[in-house]
């Protein structure tokens, strides 16, 4: 990630800590601080110039870019600023309005578009917004291409056109309906509907409100919808973690519901609360969906990153499948899934991927597959979870420049050379009962050390083993 500040600020009262962040995940900044209309236009203009320099239009004519946004109040002006720069560059823009991030990815494919821009700051609080970009394959740009775009942004590159080459913006309202159809085509709608599950859904007033409610109603669920207006006025911190979902947990218990689901603002992540109001964690979202797919299709290949729980390995072993691990990052997982022909994968942050529906994380897919798993087995979510292997994950991080983190990784690699190691992304060390993954972050000047073991004490011990080597190297 590249941090920009100073010249791009709206005024001199912006705190110095508010850097404008640009990396493989896109652009993010604080509204009225580091993120303002000129900055958004600068990014969109650079994106159009990048398209023209590195790509050819799919249809041989103009470049077509789809644009969607989450529900943040700042989203309208972010959209207007970005779309104006794209249109001024001669790009045909298809405006999807407020839609989920997986919905935008789906529409890139459906419309045969050349790329997409999404006004979102994912799970960040309301004071943040930004622009995420997808390529013609509907996935994030590879690091080298994102780096080139970042350089063009810093140079204020643009490729504006004369009036005869400007085309009107096109509106498209098909995203929610098409997304629902694609998901429902992959599950047993009648089987789920007969169970009449009571579901409590917390959409955190985000982009998932409309499409998700529609889907759950079509699945015959008795829906109790919390924070169901897509106005971006987040009622709590929007990341779907346990401390932020106490209201959802309490409502599940009060309603005597079958399950509780929580989304983040752009609806690509899913967290689950069981029928007892217990937060079971984002790691279980992928594990439960893998259990459903693999139970129906033994031998399935699942794909996930190096930092995701080994629950998925145990599930694959039960069903004659195998797991392919990739570096951290949604684009890496999707690329491996397409290569392997995999239909289930994702990341341990609640991101479930079925590329037949959307080539990216999708909370709607996750909910539908979990409900199908419950319906087919006739078991509660807590019973299903109890049958899965139980692990404890411990995650730590500390400030560390990338060059220092790389040096630390080399030291760890040397220290544990006799163990089973994977060096695709930092270093992961696997033992019979546990693993540790140490890696520099792709988006911040920090190093992460993550460990998983059957109990917290062993996970802590593994973290400490690696931390000692890292401290010595630094």
The rounded distance, in Å, linking the Cα atoms of 57 and 61 is: 6
How far is 145 from 168, CA to CA, in rounded Å?
Answer: 28
pTM across the whole model: 0.93
| H/E element, 427 | strand 427-430
How many residues in the chain?
Answer: 474
Q: Is 13 helix (H, G, I), strand (E, B) or coil?
A: coil
**Phi, psi for 117 (deg, rounded to 5):** -120, 140
Distance from C-alpha of 474 to C-alpha of 17, rounded to nearest angstrom: 25
Count H helices and E strands in the chain, helices first. 15, 21
Work out the pLDDT band at 4, boundaries 50, 70, 90: very low
What token pair was written down for 421? 């190691």
For the segment 21-58, what is each residue's pLDDT rounded down to a tens digit? Answer: 888 879 999 999 999 999 999 999 999 999 999 999 99
Question: What pLDDT score does 281 carry?
Answer: 83
Count of other CB atoms within 10 angstroms of residue 324: 16
Kindly indicate the confidence band of residue 14, based on its pLDDT and cuts at 50, 70 and 90. very low
Q: pLDDT tens across 238-288, in order?
A: 999 999 999 999 999 999 999 999 999 999 999 999 999 999 988 999 999
Read off the DSSP letter of residue 262: E
- Annotated catalytic, 122? yes
CATH annotation of 2-173 = 3.40.120.10
pLDDT at 359 over 90: yes
Report percent pLDDT > 70 for the chain.
Answer: 96
Residues carrying CATH 3.40.120.10, the chain:
2-173, 178-386
Which class for 311: exposed (0-12), middle (13-18), buried (19 or more C-beta within 10 A)? Answer: buried
Q: Are strands 92-98 and 170-171 parallel, antiparallel or unpaired?
A: parallel
Distance CA 262, CA 253 (A): 15
Pairing of strands 435-440, 427-430: antiparallel
Question: How does DSSP assign 59-103, residue by residue?
Answer: TSSS-EEEEEE-S-TTHHHHHHHHHHHHHHTT-EEEEEEE--HHH
Residues spanned by CATH 3.30.310.50 within the chain? 392-473
* Contact between 96 and 107 (Cβ < 8 Å): yes
Looking at residues 143-148, what average pLDDT do you find? 91
Residue 382 has pLDDT above 90, yes or no: yes
Q: Is 398 helix (H, G, I), strand (E, B) or coil?
A: strand
Closest CA to 474 of 450, 438, 429, 435: 438
Q: Write down the pLDDT at residue 335.
A: 93
Distance CA(452)–CA(318), nearest Å, equals: 20
Share of the chain above pLDDT 90, in %: 89
Q: Which of 25, 74, 89, 122 is catalytic?
A: 122
Backbone angles phi, psi at 29, to 5 degrees: -160, 175
Q: What is the pLDDT of residue 443?
A: 66
Residue found under tokens 């983190």: 405
Q: Please say whether the dihedral angle defined by the alpha carbons of residues 404, 406, 409 and 415, taken in this order, is positive or negative.
A: negative
CATH topology of domain 392-473: TATA-Binding Protein (3.30.310)
Spell 243-267 as b/e; 16+ CB within 10 A means b: ebbebbbebbbebebbbbbbbbbbb
pLDDT tens for 192-250 read: 999 999 999 999 999 999 999 999 999 999 999 999 999 999 999 999 999 999 999 99
CATH class of 178-386: alpha beta
What's the CA dihedral at 288, 294, 296, 299 to 10 degrees? 180
Q: Is the pLDDT of residue 6 over 70?
A: no
Q: What pLDDT score was predicted for residue 421? A: 97
The structure tokens listed for 224 are: 């109790």
**In angstroms, rounded to a whole number, what is the distance separating the alpha carbons of residues 436 and 434?**
7
CA-CA distance, 10 to 308, in Å (whole number)?
39
Average per-residue pLDDT in the chain? 93
**Predicted confidence (pLDDT) at residue 327 exceeds the cutoff of 60:** yes
SS3 388: coil
- pLDDT for the residue numbered 17: 52
* 194, HSE (Cβ side, Cα atoms, 13 Å): 7
Q: pLDDT tens-digit profile of 162-179?
A: 999 999 999 999 999 999
> pLDDT value at position 9?
32
């Amino acid at each position: 990630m590249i941090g920009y500040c100073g010249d791009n600020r709206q005024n001199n009262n912006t705190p110095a800590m508010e850097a404008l962040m640009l990396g493989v995940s896109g652009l993010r900044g604080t509204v009225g601080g580091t993120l303002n209309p000129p900055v958004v236009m600068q990014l969109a203009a650079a994106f159009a110039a990048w398209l023209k320099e590195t790509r050819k239009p799919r249809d041989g004519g103009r470049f077509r870019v789809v644009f969607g946004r989450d529900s943040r109040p700042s989203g309208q002006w972010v959209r207007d600023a970005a779309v104006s720069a794209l249109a001024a560059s001669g790009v045909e823009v298809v405006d999807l309005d407020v839609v989920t991030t997986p919905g935008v990815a789906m529409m890139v494919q459906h419309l045969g578009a050349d790329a997409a821009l999404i006004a979102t700051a994912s799970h960040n609080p309301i004071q943040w917004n930004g622009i995420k970009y997808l390529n013609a394959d509907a996935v994030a740009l590879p690091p080298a291409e994102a780096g080139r775009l970042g350089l063009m942004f810093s140079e204020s590159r643009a490729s504006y056109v004369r009036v005869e080459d400007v085309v009107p913006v096109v509106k498209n309202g098909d995203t929610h309906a098409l997304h629902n159809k694609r998901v429902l085509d992959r599950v047993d709608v009648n089987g789920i509907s007969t169970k009449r599950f009571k579901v409590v859904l917390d959409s955190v007033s985000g982009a998932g409100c409309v499409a998700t409610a529609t889907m759950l109603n079509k699945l015959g669920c008795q829906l109790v919808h919390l924070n169901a207006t897509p106005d971006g006025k987040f009622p709590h911190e929007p990341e779907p973690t346990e401390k932020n979902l106490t209201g959802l947990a309490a409502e599940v218990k009060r309603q005597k519901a079958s399950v509780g689901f929580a989304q983040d603002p752009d609806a690509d992540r899913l967290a689950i609360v069981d029928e007892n109001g217990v937060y079971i964690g984002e790691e279980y979202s992928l594990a439960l969906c893998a259990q459903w797919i693999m139970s129906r299709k033994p031998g399935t290949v699942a794909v996930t990153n190096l930092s995701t729980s080994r629950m998925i390995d145990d599930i694959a072993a039960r069903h004659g499948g195998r797991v392919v691990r990739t570096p951290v990052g949604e684009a890496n997982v999707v690329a491996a899934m397409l290569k392997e022909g995999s239909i289930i994968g994702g990341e341990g942050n609640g991101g479930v991927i079925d590329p037949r529906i959307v080539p990216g994380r999708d909370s709607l897919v996750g909910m539908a597959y979990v409900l199908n798993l419950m319906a087919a087995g006739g078991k509660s979510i807590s019973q299903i979870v109890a049958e899965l292997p139980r692990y404890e994950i411990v995650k730590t991080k500390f400030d560390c420049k990338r060059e220092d983190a790389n040096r630390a990784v080399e030291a760890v690699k040397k220290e544990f050379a006799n163990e089973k190691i994977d060096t695709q992304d930092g270093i992961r060390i696997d033992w019979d009962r546990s693993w540790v993954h140490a890696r520099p972050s792709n988006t911040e000047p920090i190093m992460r050390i993550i460990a998983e073991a059957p109990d917290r004490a062993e996970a802590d011990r593994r973290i400490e083993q690696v931390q000692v080597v890292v401290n010595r190297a630094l």
